[in-house]
Amino acid sequence: MQRIFFHCAANKLKVYMFIDEYDNFTNTILTSSGTKEYYHLTQGEGAFRYFFNLLKGLTSMPDSGLSRLFITGVSPVTMDDVTSGFNIGDNVSMDLALNEFTGFTESETMEILTLNWIIF
């Protein structure tokens, strides 16, 4: 994967990476394979840990090719296990300027809940 970013950096390309449901794998691995496999992937030289540490490193390098990184669904357990705490990010989930960027707005959520309540 580093080669992709080296190529982008060398050619002055910008990568905007969106990772949705970042923490979904935690539940999937823990319920299907157990804690041993989870620790194998997230601790030490584990593949998931390596991947997210690489992304974290790239975000701190101005000409890395990775211009923006947007991650959703980050649970504290997954964040700590995979990246030693992704302490360079900003939580924008309550930012009104980004309120309608992803997910449902408050009014859409209320409409969905009202419709589902009537149906059930």
Digit-coded pLDDT (tens) for 2-32 = 788 888 888 988 888 888 777 777 778 888 8
Residue type, 21: E
Arithmetic mean of pLDDT, 83-101: 65
Q: Which sign, positive or negative, has the C-alpha torsion 93, 13, 24, 90?
A: negative
Domain borders along the chain are 2-89
What pLDDT does 89 receive? 63
**Is residue 119 scored above 50 in pLDDT?**
no
Q: What are the pLDDT digits (tens) for 44-67? A: 788 888 888 888 888 888 788 888
Which region, left, alpha or beta, applies to residue 72 given φ > 0 means left and ψ of -120 to 50 means alpha? beta
- Closest C-alpha to 19, from 97, 82, 99: 82
Please tell me the pTM assigned to this model. Answer: 0.58
